[in-house]
Structure 1
């Protein structure tokens, strides 16, 4: 009997309720059965897809060499029946001694690393066996569609059974046109293995990738984040014969610098053409705007990066540019390496308060070309090679198209009288100039209500803390230097930081920003992006001189300063490590004419990091970056004198 609210229902209502309940139960049972059937069908389809390609997934064992934290078996994908295998470069630690690969019979055989694809972070191996392997089919470009099932496979745990991770294709044409993105769980368990579709065809090879770097480990910090990448197999197969011949593939370089700013908004306007580059050989010029690469229309800088990102060295491409009112098309052959570019020196510092056309000289470098032609503080530079220069930023960009020892003519005003001189550009000196702090404007400061002193700048969406030291004499009409301080592991002492920098910041018009690691015991490389967000936050509030943004860090914080500097070349103009070495992750990128970057290193002679630090600075010098090295004797840290010399270097980063 059915009871409702403790009341007995009439018989006919009881029967009606029983009928309704029975119908509901039957319907629900059928629905659940249908769902179970659908899930079972999906599971069968997925496992059928996996079974089709499983024989093409190979377990690899990399023996010997330096540890990478990824010890144990890894995965690869067969790309030809005679035993050629593609895998991720991240799987092969430095100085490994041998590779063992599973064979179709279940045995193991030695394998040889034949070649690298440095553009896409892949390697090609050859297994030394006569056994015949099974290859898999690639998915055509037209069938790689966002939202489709994707299955990430590896043979890390077993030679016979593949480990699987299910997801979807979440994006295409990622990492500047080189990769497919999936939300399947991508990790060392499947790096080198395939990403497949529901038909058992291969989308691509799983490998860590990053839009900012090309180290084998770049992108590994996205492990288990729902963001993983696969290089389309259909893109690699046309280059397989080249790789089989033992020829490495490298990214193709053009040799132009574009106008700084938002790459997703700005046109691809060339501000500098590197000497001895394909761009210079092909006739590209400063002021050209790139509008087409091959058949791809270009309206923004990001589109140019996509068009060039997938290109290899040796590829010949057609480039169309808008020059004045004409469209000019030229062909260029991209190269693996550009000759290291060295910024030239005229030998002046600009007066940042000067608001009229031209560049007013504030300081003359000793023994510089400017001194040799008898330029003086107060002179106003107006033209280079008869080209008018609007201000010191424009003058700096014009000179980025030259190298040391190049000759040019310069026109300047002295007492309103123009004079033209010829000179030969020089080299940037290793030592920072001894200069007085820049003068403040003679006009009265406008009313300002912005906070000064030690202030909290924590970002609401981040768990990391962040503070800043704003000079108490801050003026919104004065562009300030920004020093981003990344401390060594340990609890922060913000009061001591303020005591060290507050007075000097007021004297040298400098703001100190101190973002802090989430874990006081260590910096995580993924916090590079958090640091960038804190810088952008300061830029949105205070007036910052973009020629003088410096990342300064100690020990692990110093290593992070290298990572931040190379990751955000569009913004960072100086890196100042203190008792820190250049990390392996910080691949030294080519010196860019349009994005200046200089280094100021504090070294401790007795430090355990001294040799590694010196080796890193030697590499930077060989790449033609301006490097200033300062030897410290006191392990306790910087003295006020050390900080003053450092601030003078920061003050000189807008040198010309």
Structure 2
């Protein structure tokens, strides 16, 4: 049996005793007893821990080589059901061999997967005397208690990494957290207490994404997660029927962007969703779920997080001062939401009023007679004050035909009727200015030009370019440029973007990878921190926050965008496909993400890019595809102008 910390501690104390009498024999004895207790705990669970070898399948998943080293699993039933981490099977192996604690080798097959908690259920295909471990009830878990991550990987013996239970109810209620070092060596193995009972099944997880490799970037970092074994046992009867378990969704969008302070007020109830079928409406506020109180949106997310498709949910909502009970059944997916399109661009100098800047040719707006400088006051009888409220009203529409538009045209009120279409997938050749020329002296910001940004305790560099013409009264677009590693040329980047920033009110942000040769998934949070710095330091138009990248930088751009849909409104990816491990979420009516992607028959990634475009189109993301005759690297001046126009139109309604 191998431990990664406790044995080293005993030896250190023994060494200190030789040179320092203040370290008493009692101290050493205490730690020896702790070591014996840890070994006994691992010995108790060891018969339930198996080694798993997977053969065949894919050698590469996206740009990542798939490892073929043995991994770990945990027995969960006397008839040979074994649970492990889905990370260990991303290559979809053609055959699986399980080695028991006694050394017996037994063939196994994948029976089902848990796509919510990133677990997989195996069925061993031979008779054996299987030992089922004891699970620790959640009520008996205490933050600070011993926690040992156990694996059986390199030989027939077990290995253990010692730490504590750092937190419970993490990853939106799906997992517990430990500082014991976890890695592919013990993914799928048990996290146990000092008595040898199983706290949970070790699995890489992330609060931001649900892809198969989510959380693996925290390998050996002191941040590890495990799915409580009691939760696995609770679902085992359903799971062992061979049906995959999927996260449950009800089909709502909540109002506002601050989940930690805002109530769970429904902004939109999606068509063909359990929420719509149950009669949930825009303006309802969820105050209870399954008998548990909901004060803020984050509470709702925590309570829904562990639930699966097929689970029944009892809701209590407040509507117009009255409380209503609603019963619904969660589903695994909902018909993708397709964003409606009226066909106007708003002026950006109107404050909380909505004036038409431009009317898209051929759009419903043009067909019903909307004109430039009209003030739109109501859509479908609902008052609108600005872009965000217009988006909310459109998202809540139950039908998109014969929609009444109330406008104020030079003091005369008009009622126009039109039928909405899907959000435009084209971009304009020319656009009028978003705001009239300033009639007063602009309020300048003290920090313009090239601005270096330093994130504490992060080695990465980052800089921003803020035009000297930046006006605090005119919120700017934010473009986050993620370079191809090895192409960090500040001068050429500024040459490409400086005019665009000055002429179109854009702030450019350029985070750099810590390793000049590659971006890492762990740097997603660093990029977010850089964005937060700009968002709090400057006035930013929240409808035009764009993550833009080329090749590997484009891959990270997709990760950043889909991990932070609360602030990112668009992603522009040059010559790159969706990361193969990324599962794009369903479109959210109130968090619109527009996508600009390039295609080129000469690109080595052409096949993967085309497949990605099909996935995004099926999910109904607003998608603009730019076909390049040949793969020419970053955008040339003509393409740059096209990109800037596309960004300028992101707030279209």
Q: TM-score range by the shorter chain?
A: over 0.9
Deviates more, 1:468-477 or 1:545-554: 468-477
Q: Could you say which residue in structure 2 is the equivalent of 1:397? A: 392
Report the CA distance between 1:450 and its aligned residue: 2.1
Aligned-partner Cα distance in 1 for 2:433–2:398 = 29
Aligned-partner Cα distance in 1 for 2:33–2:457 = 42
The one of 89, 100, 112 equivalent to 1:115 is: 112
Please say if residues 104 and 131 of structure 1, whose CA atoms lie closer than 8 Å, have aligned partners that are also in contact: no
Q: Could you say which residue in structure 1 is the equivalent of 2:72? A: 75
Query: Is the aligned partner of 1:92 residue 2:89?
Result: yes
Q: Could you say which residue in structure 1 is the equivalent of 2:284? A: 288
SS in 1 for 2:172: helix
Please say if residues 343 and 404 of structure 1, whose CA atoms lie closer than 8 Å, have aligned partners that are also in contact: no
Q: 1:440 to 1:585 in 2, by over 3 A?
A: farther
Residues 223-242 of structure 1, C-alpha deviation per residue, up to 9 Å, x if partnerless?
11101011001111121111
Q: Could you say which residue in structure 2 is the equivalent of 1:4? A: none
Aligned-partner Cα distance in 1 for 2:206–2:28 = 40
Report the CA distance between 1:31 and its aligned residue: 6.5
Report the CA distance between 1:274 and its aligned residue: 1.1
Please say if residues 260 and 570 of structure 1, whose CA atoms lie closer than 8 Å, have aligned partners that are also in contact: no
Report the CA distance between 1:429 and its aligned residue: 2.3
Aligned-partner Cα distance in 2 for 1:103–1:225 = 29
The one of 334, 342, 346 equivalent to 1:346 is: 342
Aligned-partner Cα distance in 1 for 2:256–2:466 = 26
Report the CA distance between 1:422 and its aligned residue: 2.2
Query: Is the aligned partner of 1:56 residue 2:48?
Result: yes
Please say if residues 86 and 123 of structure 1, whose CA atoms lie closer than 8 Å, have aligned partners that are also in contact: yes
Report the CA distance between 1:525 and its aligned residue: 1.1
Where does structure 1 lack aligned partners over 5 or more consecutive residues?
1-24
Q: Could you say which residue in structure 2 is the equivalent of 1:367? A: 362
What TM-score do the two structures reach when normalised by structure 2? Answer: 0.93
Aligned-partner Cα distance in 2 for 1:301–1:244 = 33
Q: Could you say which residue in structure 2 is the equivalent of 1:414? A: 409
Residues 486-512 of structure 1, C-alpha deviation per residue, up to 9 Å, x if partnerless?
111114211111111111221111111
Please say if residues 104 and 133 of structure 1, whose CA atoms lie closer than 8 Å, have aligned partners that are also in contact: no
Q: Could you say which residue in structure 2 is the equivalent of 1:648? A: 645
Report the CA distance between 1:272 and its aligned residue: 1.6
Please say if residues 351 and 360 of structure 1, whose CA atoms lie closer than 8 Å, have aligned partners that are also in contact: yes
Residues 528-566 of structure 1, C-alpha deviation per residue, up to 9 Å, x if partnerless?
111111111111111110000001101100111100110
Q: Could you say which residue in structure 1 is the equivalent of 2:242? A: 246
Aligned-partner Cα distance in 1 for 2:439–2:127 = 84
Aligned-partner Cα distance in 1 for 2:295–2:355 = 36
Aligned 1:611-622 pairs, distance under 5 A: 611-622=607-618
Q: Could you say which residue in structure 2 is the equivalent of 1:259? A: 255
Aligned-partner Cα distance in 1 for 2:634–2:161 = 49
Aligned-partner Cα distance in 2 for 1:585–1:93 = 9
Residues 100-153 of structure 1, C-alpha deviation per residue, up to 9 Å, x if partnerless?
012464221110111111111111111111111111110011111101111111
Aligned 1:147-158 pairs, distance under 5 A: 147-158=144-155
Query: Is the aligned partner of 1:132 residue 2:129?
Result: yes
Q: Could you say which residue in structure 2 is the equivalent of 1:142? A: 139
Report the CA distance between 1:29 and its aligned residue: 6.6
Aligned-partner Cα distance in 2 for 1:286–1:405 = 16
Query: Is the aligned partner of 1:66 residue 2:58?
Result: yes
Please say if residues 480 and 547 of structure 2, whose CA atoms lie closer than 8 Å, have aligned partners that are also in contact: yes
Deviates more, 1:98-107 or 1:244-253: 98-107
SS in 1 for 2:236: helix
Please say if residues 342 and 404 of structure 1, whose CA atoms lie closer than 8 Å, have aligned partners that are also in contact: no
Deviates more, 1:270-279 or 1:200-209: 270-279
Please say if residues 172 and 179 of structure 1, whose CA atoms lie closer than 8 Å, have aligned partners that are also in contact: yes
Aligned-partner Cα distance in 1 for 2:217–2:441 = 46
The one of 411, 421, 426 equivalent to 2:421 is: 426
Aligned 1:294-333 pairs, distance under 5 A: 294-333=290-329
Deviates more, 1:434-443 or 1:234-243: 434-443
Report the CA distance between 1:633 and its aligned residue: 3.4
Please say if residues 445 and 475 of structure 1, whose CA atoms lie closer than 8 Å, have aligned partners that are also in contact: no
The one of 17, 33, 37 equivalent to 2:29 is: 37
Aligned-partner Cα distance in 2 for 1:191–1:156 = 10
Query: Is the aligned partner of 1:232 residue 2:224?
Result: no
Query: Is the aligned partner of 1:452 residue 2:444?
Result: no
Aligned-partner Cα distance in 2 for 1:306–1:516 = 34
Query: Is the aligned partner of 1:272 residue 2:268?
Result: yes
Please say if residues 357 and 432 of structure 2, whose CA atoms lie closer than 8 Å, have aligned partners that are also in contact: no
Q: Could you say which residue in structure 2 is the equivalent of 1:337? A: 333
Please say if residues 604 and 610 of structure 1, whose CA atoms lie closer than 8 Å, have aligned partners that are also in contact: yes
Runs of 4+ in structure 1 over 6 Å off: 28-31
Aligned-partner Cα distance in 1 for 2:634–2:199 = 53
Aligned-partner Cα distance in 2 for 1:383–1:117 = 45
Please say if residues 257 and 272 of structure 1, whose CA atoms lie closer than 8 Å, have aligned partners that are also in contact: yes
Q: CA RMSD in A?
A: 1.8
Please say if residues 563 and 585 of structure 1, whose CA atoms lie closer than 8 Å, have aligned partners that are also in contact: no
The one of 181, 188, 192 equivalent to 2:184 is: 188
Please say if residues 74 and 192 of structure 1, whose CA atoms lie closer than 8 Å, have aligned partners that are also in contact: yes
Aligned-partner Cα distance in 2 for 1:351–1:623 = 30
Residues 35-81 of structure 1, C-alpha deviation per residue, up to 9 Å, x if partnerless?
12211211111111111110000111111112354321111111111
